[in-house]
Amino acid sequence: MYIKRHIDVVVREMAKAFPAVVLTGSRQVGKTTLLRNAFPGASYSTLDRLDVLESARNDPERFLKAQTEPMIIDEVQYAPHLFRYVKIAADERRSTKGRFFLTGSQRYLMMQGVDESLAGRTGIVEMLGLSLREIEGCSFNRPFIPTDGYLESRKKALPVQSRYNVWDSIVRGDLPELYADELLDAQRYYDSYIDSYLRRDVRDLAHVGDLTAFNRFMSFLALTHGQQLNKADLSARTGVAVATVNRWLSVLEASNIIYLLKPLYVNSGKRLAKTPKLYFLNSGLAARLCRITSGTDLEQSVQAGAFLEGFVLAEVIKSHLNAKGAFPDIYYYRDSNRNEVDLILLDGSDLYPIEVKKAGLARSADIKGFSQLDNLSGFTRRSGAVLCTCTEPLPLPEGNWAVPIHYL
């Protein structure tokens, strides 16, 4: 069963503007499925197949000419010389758009070839896993921002009744195959995913020599989901050098496995946090690494708040990425007086603060940190939201809102 992807619109727009479109994203997020559904007449080849890979590496020019345009080539980073010949072919008929669709799960390697050979000739689209909207089959594709207008539009597009409990959704994660076939056991699926894809890709890119140490590193990393990144602590707990921790983190970030949420840091006269917070973009992967097996277990665990916060962050990012093809400017705030704001959407000089609460209701006290943003020179605080498990939006003081998580 194909689950329609909202970023399909962005991919089609890129195909009308560029000869080549590069679609990147971590393994199994649905890149190939999207392209084959969006462009059913395109030829298809994957460099995951050894015979195809050998042909593409040994004679990239003839390999490319043997394909029928438009063409989809999967995992193109394995044959980096192909980029040069895609450039030559694109330049021969520069005005003909949407000829080459290249995918890759190892963005770290892939973008080197794109930057060197295809600059100005390719549209680049990053893809994440399924959003809650896509899982629900909702066509609403407006980027989340906590304004009156957004809430009014979102309410009109809500499903009659949600099929999913938020905690179960967090544990199941966002990989399409788990929703195309809901009989799949998520725990076994993630075990296979970790063994088949994550360790292989990261081992290739980050030069992992000690797999046991890397496994230990990933487990500890999942336990820090939603916390400020402490590289020295990760190094001490895993027994690997800080330089190695840095290398592994950079590969995981480039592969969209983790997201480092930076603090909003400006000269305000206050001591502000400078350390990013670490989140897994796929909450199901983080849950499996933490050995959390059900939504009920997660809801009752000490990590419930961090997982809910990470889930909201990922949904906000997906709403912007799927609608506009770009990650939002999003940050957090923390000062030395323990004033905090979980998430801040930045739109020009406008700040939209967001708090995430596990509770089923929001109170005025939940937005007390919002006023601290008024001290940041050059910015204007706009309406904010407390995302919680309430059922309907409710107004809070100063134009803020209590917003149900299913309104994302």
Answer yes or no: is 1 within a domain. Answer: no
Which domain-ending residue is among 75, 95, 126?
Answer: 126
Q: Residue 169: inside a domain, yes or no?
A: yes
Q: Measured between alpha carbons, how far is 152 from 143 in angstroms, rounded to an integer?
A: 13
Is 218 found in the same domain as 114?
no
122 near 114, Cβ under 8 Å?
A: yes
Whether residues 193 and 227 fall in one domain: yes
Retrieve residue 401's tokens: 């809102």
Torsion of CA 27, 32, 33, 34, to 10 degrees: 110
| pLDDT category of residue 112 using cuts at 50, 70 and 90 | low
Q: Which residue pairs, CB below 8 angstroms and at least 24 apart, start in 45-52? A: 45/71, 45/72, 45/73, 45/74, 46/73, 46/74, 46/75, 47/73, 47/74, 47/75, 47/76, 47/78, 47/79, 48/74, 48/75, 48/78
DSSP for 348-366, written as a single string: TTEEEEEEE-SSSS--GGG
286/359: higher pLDDT: 286
Q: Could you tell me if 322 and 394 lie in one domain?
A: yes
Of 97-106, 110-119, 242-251, minimum mean pLDDT range: 110-119
In a domain, 92, yes or no: yes
Same structural domain, 139 and 116: no
Over residues 354-374, the mean pLDDT reads: 92
Q: How many domains is the chain partitioned into structurally?
A: 2
Average pLDDT over residues 280-309: 96
Q: How confident is the model at residue 238 (pLDDT cuts 50, 70, 90)?
A: confident
Q: What is the pLDDT of residues 180-200, one digit of tens each?
A: 998 999 999 999 988 877 767
Which pLDDT does position 337 carry in this prediction? 82
Please check whether residues 82 and 51 belong to one and the same domain.
Answer: yes
**Are residue 120 and residue 260 in the same domain, yes or no?**
no
Q: Are residues 116 and 161 in the same domain?
A: no
Q: Which of 152, 95, 106, 123 is nearest to 20 (CA)?
A: 123
Q: Which of 79, 95, 126 is the last residue of a domain?
A: 126
What pLDDT shows up at residue 339?
86
220 and 184 within one domain: yes
This prediction has a pTM of 0.94
Residues 189 and 74 in one domain: no
Is 303 a residue whose pLDDT tops 90? yes
3-state DSSP call for residue 388? strand
Beta strands in 222-311 (DSSP E): 227-228, 258-261, 277-280
Question: Is residue 2 a part of any domain in this protein?
Answer: no
Q: Find out whether 222 and 290 touch, Cβ atoms under 8 Å.
A: yes
Rounded CA separation 232/245 (Å): 9
d(CA 383, CA 39): 41
Query: Does residue 8 have a pLDDT over 80?
Result: yes
- Domain range for 83 is 8-126
